[in-house]
Amino acid sequence: MDWRAWRRRWVTEPLYRRARAAAPGLSATEREAIDAGDVWWDAQLFSGKPDWREFSTIPAARFTPNEQAFLDGPVARLCSMLDE
């Protein structure tokens, strides 16, 4: 057995197993983000070389009727009670 194989079997693999067991598991939010599997346009933006033409073709977001009712009702009432 060569040195690398010995090191992998008797040092690296046992250390890796211990580290993996000690690491915390993924939260539901982290799992959902990983399962989404797409970084969409954000990857281009953070790469520093976004394709602005592609970005301009993305339609504007729209609120659902329930979301708009929430903003127009409880959120508007709360904002009216706040003092700058």
Tell me the pLDDT band of 30, cut-offs 50, 70 and 90: confident
Between residues 76 and 40, the one the model is more confident about: 76
* pLDDT, the chain, mean: 88
The arithmetic mean of pLDDT across residues 14-41, rounded, is 82
User: CA separation (Å) from 78 to 10, 64, 73, 83?
Assistant: 63, 20, 9, 10
Residue with tokens 């504007």: 60
Tell me the pLDDT band of 82, cut-offs 50, 70 and 90: very high
Evaluate whether 66 touches 75 at the Cβ level (below 8 Å): no
User: CA separation (Å) from 38 to 3, 7, 46?
Assistant: 41, 37, 14
Model confidence at 74: pLDDT above 80: yes
Contacts within 8 Å (CB) and 24+ apart, 15-19 = none
Q: Identify the top-confidence range among 17-21, 53-57, 64-68.
A: 64-68
